[in-house]
Amino acid sequence: MSKEAVRRIGLQFDDNTLVPLLFGEHDRHLAQIEEELDVEISSRGNEIIIIGPKLKLQMAQTVFDVLWDRLTNNLDVSEEDVSAAIQVALSPMDKGTRELAKKALMEPHLKVQSGNKTITPRSPRQAEYLEAIRTHHLIFSTGPAGTGKTFLAVAQAVGMMQAGEIDRLILCRPAVEAGEHLGFLPGNMQEKIDPYLRPIYDALHEMLPPEQIARRLADGTIEIAPLAFMRGRTLSSAMVILDEAQNTTPTQMKMALTRIGEGSHMIVTGDLSQTDLPNGIKSGLRDAVDVLQNVKDAAFIEFDESNVVRSRIVRQIVAAYDMRDKKK
Sign of CA dihedral 193, 199, 204, 206: positive
Segment 220-244, tens digit of pLDDT: 899 887 888 888 787 889 999 999 9
Residues 6+ apart with CB under 8 A from 319: 305
At 316 the pLDDT is: 75
Q: What is the mean pLDDT of the chain?
A: 82
Give the span between the Cα atoms of 254 and 231, in whole angstroms: 10
- What is the rounded distance in angstroms from the CA atom of residue 150 to the CA atom of residue 204? 10
- Averaged pLDDT, 70-83: 84
Q: Within 13 Å of residue 101, how many CA atoms lie on the same side as its CB?
A: 25
In the chain, the domains with their CATH numbers are 6-90 (3.30.1370.10), 109-327 (3.40.50.300)
Lowest mean pLDDT segment, chosen from 81-90, 133-142, 151-160? 81-90
Mean pLDDT for 132-153 is: 90
Categorise residue 292: left if φ over 0, alpha if ψ from -120 to 50, beta otherwise.
alpha
pLDDT tier at 92, thresholds 50, 70, 90: low
Mean pLDDT of 257-275: 90
Which residues touch 312 (CB under 8 Å, ≥6 apart)?
83
pLDDT category of residue 130 using cuts at 50, 70 and 90? confident
Using a cut of 0.75, tell me whether the model's pTM lies above it: no
* CB-count exposure of residue 277 (10 Å: 0-12, 13-18, 19+): middle
Residue type, 119: I
pLDDT digits (tens, 9 = 90+) for 182-229: 444 445 445 545 565 677 778 888 888 888 888 988 898 998 878 888
